[in-house]
A and B are shown apart, each in its own frame.
Chain A
Amino acid sequence: MRIVHSSDWHIGKAFRFADEAAQALREERLDAISRLGALALREGAADILVAGDVFDVETPSDRTLRQPLERMRDFPAISWHLIPGNHDSHTPRGPWARLLALPDGLPANIHLHLAPEPAPLACGAWLLPGVLTRRHDAADPSAVMNSMATPQGAVRIGLTHGPVTEFGTTAGGTPNLIAITRPASANLAYLALGDWHGAQPIGDRIWYSGTPEPDDFGSGAGDADAAGGEALVVALNGSAPPRVSRHRVGRFTWHKRTAFLDGDDAVTALEAKLRGLTGGPLGDALLWLKVEGALSLAARQRFETLIAGGLGSAFRVLRLECAALQAEPTTADMEAIDHAGFLRAAAERLKARAATEPLAAQALQRLFILHGAAR
């Protein structure tokens, strides 16, 4: 008895920062659905449980609303079980109501669980959906599972969306906190959770699956590689805790890096290091690079060529932050512009202002580049 556990598809996410790559990122979230279906077929799972936040917004366009349906329709042998999350809560005219109202109806293999009512799964187990009927209900959505009736001896699987109670904090502060003791209190074989974007076990019967396709660099300072990109295959095994295996289904990887540059060599080294960042094609990686330090005009030109130009084209997205990168024009830079004459005079003026005025530094850099191009 196997199921696939997924969540947080965030279909229709805009990806504001990504510019031209945004469309590709959106498309990839749909492809991830297909990869989930393929995973289920491969692993022999009849049901895929999606623990909320299927849609990124409560009012998606019709096409966005329908696109995931079509991906799921491609797998008629698989039953897809969906519940609302905090991004796509079930309101009278929200996405779920609109799905129910589609004139051509839903594909038969798609099951929406919009009320806290137990339902049988294809695999024979019973699904206990913990859904909130009100958007801002501070209650634990899994609480209803305790009183849900299922046939005698049925395998009870909980499915809900929200954060879990944190140890050491009192419940009630954060809304929709899910009690981690729920499997015991509701007699659950497994509790499938959505909300967190990285796969994470909370107990031997509770897991967050994470999103199948990462969608964020993640918060916090310092270097980081975003979590997510996985799905869980849950093998239910009688009354024993299930065996949970993690499977990669995501394509894009998201990375945050900070680099300190002090010269030509550092630029070259950084380029080499970043080219080997993922070990795979850089077109499947997104990089947020913060650069600090100080560069001569020549080195800065090299930086622009290798990093901004080269790597900027290699990565799917290169988000470059150079505000902290200082210009440090050297005598050689200045000589390269001219050893005398009015160009040199202009360069000297800009250099004098460069330390305090970023604009002057940039103008000087530009003069350097233009002069190089003119020769």
Chain B
Amino acid sequence: MRLRSLEIAQFRKFDRPTRLDGFTDGLNMLCGPNEFGKSTILAAIRALMFERHASRATAIKSMQPWRGNAAPELAMEFDIDGAPWRIEKRFISQPMARLTGPDGARFDNEAAEEALQRLLGFGAAGKQGASTDTMGVWGALWVTQRDSVDQPDVSQGLARSTITGCLDTEVGVLTGQEAGHAIIAKVREQRSQLLDGNSKPRGRLRDAVRELAACEADLDSLRLRASRLAEDSEALRRDEAKLALERDPEAEARDHAALNAARAAREAALVHAASQKTASLAVEQAQAAVQDAEAARSRRLTLGRARAQAEAALHTAAGAVALAQGELETVREHYAAQAARLEAAETALENTRRARQAASLLAEAARRAAPLPGLREALAEAEAAQARLTTLDARLAGIAATAETLAPARRHAQALALVQARQQAQATRLHFALAPGAGAQITLNGAPAAPDGVHLVTRETTIGLGTLGALTITPGLGEGPALDRALEEARDALAAALRATGCASLAAAEAALAEREALQRARDDAATALLRAAPGDRARKLASGAAALRAHVAALEAQAQEDAARLGALPETADAEAAASAAEAASSVAEQDLQAARAQRDAAAAVFHAAQQRAQAGIAAQAGAAADATRLAAEAEREFAREDDAALAQRLVLAQARAAAAQQELSAIDAQRPAESADMLAARVQRYEQALRQRQDNIRRLQESLAGLRARITLEGGAGLGEQIASEERRQEALATERAGLEQEAAILTLLLETLLAAERETKERYRAPVIRRVAPHLQRLFPGAAIECTDELRISNVTREAGEEDFARLSIGTQEQIAVLTRLAFADMLRDQGKPAMVILDDALAYADAERLERMFDIMAHAAAKVQILVLTCREDLFRRLGAARLELRAAGG
């Protein structure tokens, strides 16, 4: 589709007929500032196309010009596949519509509306005017200023079927999508009756599961009750039998008779036991009397034996004491002798110790005095060397010349000689060769001149010629005066240097130096001798030199004198050492003697103590034996005083006779003992009584139990448990069958739904391809290297650039708008490829694009315009100049 011209009259701001034409097949542009009417142009095109001429919608009313109440009139010429069409409409007042075809065919009013709808593929506008639904795909291609950022919406209605139709043709799938979606909805709905969103049972399935569980629980409880009922019935039969047994009257009579017999036997046994006990007691008493008498007799015998033993013991003890005391005496003497020996040994040891100490002191003093003679000789040598040293130092101090002071004198003397030599070399030589005797007349500078010889003239020299006058020679100026000065200075310097040496001449100075050096050597010798004689001793803190040595010798001599005063004359060292060693040995021998003596004394002491103890023990034993004998004698006296031997014998005989009689009576009673003991019979009586009580208890308990059982059985037996179980089992089976059926149904529906959705998804994948294929190249121009993803609704959802994947909604507004424009161009392209009319109108689009993007968008639009006509409405004339579009102008029409 290509627009060719547009005529507008009485439409909003265009109250006068206005015409827009000059459209080219590709890019077209209408520029104008805000309020210029660009959006009104788009509104006019949309109204002309999509609004019904007879419509009363508010949208139509708003078309009327701002001034007046006139009827809007619109007309447009366009080509479809190169053939020209014209549509005209008048709204509100005397509304009309007319469509003129390329072959001259004319459609009026409703027919025109319907023909246009068929031609361009949109729907009839509703009562509220044209809407996105009725405009179909055009709503996506002709974009108002407001919507330019949004992607075209082709997800529903007419737009969807138009695009889907294109895709079907392109992808080669002709199919009833709608039927498929209806089936999916149906399956989903049926499945949702059984399973919820998480595939958990719901509705009847959930109820069946719950009812089945409840039914099984009921069944369990019924079965439990039935088994209890069976148990109760069994228990009833058992207990009734037991009760009959317990109530048997014959058995009860038998039990009572046995009890009475047992009680009588028990009484008889008790009487017998009492008499038997009395007789036993009598026997015991009689036997006690016998035992008492026998005990007295035996005690008396024992006492006699003890007295004899005590006397014997006393005798033995006395002998032992006498023996021990003799022995003690002997031992005590021996001990005294040993003690005396020990004392002597101790004294001897003390003496040897003192002698050893004295010898030791003497040896020490001798050792100290030993070096004294040598030291005295060394001291004499040292003092001689010291005296020499002192003399030489004095002489050395008198000589000023040294090697240091002499060196400048030598240097200055050399310099003087050099000056003199130069002066002589330059001086005029005056050779005298006088006649003998002439000398008296001839003078040189007033002094007689030597008859021959050479005189050097260095300054004005007057030669007196006697009477003849005088001859004055004045040397030329030259170096003469300078040399004179140098000579003067050299002499002064030499003199000054010689003063430091204390000598008048250099020769004297040299001689003084030689003497000095000889003296120095002698001094060194003396110092060496001194050091050799008194080298000092660091270990003894003795300094070198004569003075220190002298003090040392004096100290040693003082010590030696003191030692001599204390110890007498000091012996030779060796003698003193020998004496000390001898004293040591003697002391050691004395020590050994002492130890031996001590050991012997200790041994004697031990022997003495032992003997002493033996003697004391003997004395104690003797005393004890004496006490025993006395005590036993007293005891015997008391015994006989109480009862003499004859009385005791009589008492014993009497008691034995009584015991024999009592024993006889007890034997007679024992012979009458009953067969069973009283204890055993008492236990039996108790047992029989217990058994009778238990029988009564059993009867009562059985009666109670039976009453309970009968009540329960009556209650449960009438409940028809077996029938209830059968009925519940039937219900359980029915529910299980129902549940299995419903689960099967759910499984079938789930599988079907999954399969359908998977198939649908695959189909959609194939649908997206053409859209992506068309958008992608444009996008590559805009963002080199970018890729896109497209939703099932054919919206761009993701853009992948170098930075990574980006959600469309998170892209910048500018980028979103650019992609939206690209998508529109792609849809238009696709429609055109499928032979459907398409063109794109962009109203103030790309407002957010930067200069670079704008350039690229221009490229893309220019490329797209080779196939699809594009109309750009913009207020940014300067920016859009580079688009290279044909410029359209609004012109007054008709007139």
* CB <8 Å contact, B723 and A19: no
Closest to B234 in A: A92
* CB <8 Å contact, B720 and A343: no
Bitwise, A200-231 to B at CB < 8 A (1) or not (0) is: 00000000000000000000000000000000
Closest to B177 in A: A341
| Min CB gap A22→B, angstroms | 6
The residue from B177, B744, B748, B755 contacting A346, defined by CB atoms under 8 A apart: B755
A327 CA to B237 CA in the complex, in Å? Answer: 62
Closest to B225 in A: A59
Residue A167, interface by CB 8 Å: no
Q: Which of A17, A58, A345 has the most CB of B within 10 A?
A: A345
- CB pairs A–B below 8 angstroms (21 shown): A14-B727, A19-B734, A22-B730, A56-B726, A57-B720, A59-B722, A60-B722, A92-B236, A338-B179, A340-B173, A342-B763, A346-B755, A346-B756, A346-B759, A349-B755, A349-B758, A350-B755, A363-B749, A366-B752, A370-B187, A375-B179
Residue A371, interface by CB 8 Å: yes
Residue A62, interface by CB 8 Å: yes
* Set of chain B residues within 8 Å of A57, measured between Cβ atoms: 720, 722-723, 725-726
A28 CA to B756 CA in the complex, in Å? Answer: 49
* CB <8 Å contact, B759 and A342: yes
* CB <8 Å contact, A13 and B179: no
The residue from A60, A341, A366 contacting B173, defined by CB atoms under 8 A apart: A341
**15 additional A-B residue pairs with CB within 8 Å, beyond A341-B763, A366-B187:** A14-B723, A14-B726, A16-B733, A59-B226, A59-B229, A61-B724, A93-B713, A338-B175, A338-B180, A340-B174, A341-B174, A341-B180, A343-B176, A362-B744, A367-B756
The residue from A60, A342, A366, A375 contacting B723, defined by CB atoms under 8 A apart: A60
Residue A148, interface by CB 8 Å: no
* Set of chain A residues within 8 Å of B749, measured between Cβ atoms: 363, 366
Q: Which of B187, B713, B723, B759 has the most CB of A within 10 A?
A: B723
Residue A185, interface by CB 8 Å: no
The residue from A15, A59, A350, A374 contacting B730, defined by CB atoms under 8 A apart: A15
* CB <8 Å contact, A60 and B720: yes
Residue A359, interface by CB 8 Å: yes
Residue B250, interface by CB 8 Å: no
Residue B718, interface by CB 8 Å: yes
A19 CA to B734 CA in the complex, in Å? Answer: 6
Closest to A97 in B: B717
| Min CB gap A372→B, angstroms | 11
Residue B186, interface by CB 8 Å: yes
| Min CB gap A363→B, angstroms | 4
Task: Known contacts A93-B717, A342-B175; decide if A59 and B748 are in contact (CB<8 Å).
Answer: no
* CB <8 Å contact, A59 and B721: yes
A89 CA to B523 CA in the complex, in Å? Answer: 163
| Min CB gap B437→A, angstroms | 174
* CB <8 Å contact, B722 and A374: no
Interfacial residues, chain A to chain B (CB-CB below 8 A): 12-17, 19, 22, 56-65, 91-93, 98, 338, 340-346, 349-350, 359-360, 362-363, 366-367, 370-371, 374-375
A13 CA to B175 CA in the complex, in Å? Answer: 57
* Set of chain A residues within 8 Å of B733, measured between Cβ atoms: 16-17
Q: Which residues of chain B (178-223) have a CB below 8 Å from chain A?
A: 179-180, 182-183, 186-187
| Min CB gap B712→A, angstroms | 10
Residue B637, interface by CB 8 Å: no
Residue B18, interface by CB 8 Å: no
A60 CA to B722 CA in the complex, in Å? Answer: 6
Bitwise, B798-829 to A at CB < 8 A (1) or not (0) is: 00000000000000000000000000000000
* CB <8 Å contact, A343 and B752: no
The A interface is mostly helix, strand or loop, or mixed, namely helix
Q: Which residues of chain B (665-705) have a CB below 8 Å from chain A?
A: none
The residue from A14, A346, A366 contacting B758, defined by CB atoms under 8 A apart: A346
Closest to B237 in A: A92
| Min CB gap B294→A, angstroms | 85
* CB <8 Å contact, B751 and A359: yes
The residue from B177, B186, B233, B720 contacting A370, defined by CB atoms under 8 A apart: B186
A363 CA to B174 CA in the complex, in Å? Answer: 24
* Set of chain A residues within 8 Å of B236, measured between Cβ atoms: 92-93
Residue B511, interface by CB 8 Å: no
* CB <8 Å contact, B175 and A341: yes
Residue B719, interface by CB 8 Å: yes
A241 CA to B721 CA in the complex, in Å? Answer: 44
Residue B760, interface by CB 8 Å: yes
Residue B729, interface by CB 8 Å: yes
* CB <8 Å contact, A342 and B724: no
| Min CB gap B598→A, angstroms | 118
| Min CB gap A93→B, angstroms | 5
* Set of chain B residues within 8 Å of A93, measured between Cβ atoms: 229, 233, 236, 713, 717
Residue B762, interface by CB 8 Å: yes
* CB <8 Å contact, B723 and A61: yes
Q: Which residues of chain B (447-466) have a CB below 8 Å from chain A?
A: none
A375 CA to B186 CA in the complex, in Å? Answer: 13
A98 CA to B722 CA in the complex, in Å? Answer: 14
A13 CA to B725 CA in the complex, in Å? Answer: 11
Residue B747, interface by CB 8 Å: yes
Q: Which of A15, A338, A343 has the most CB of B within 10 A?
A: A343
Closest to A92 in B: B233
A90 CA to B415 CA in the complex, in Å? Answer: 176
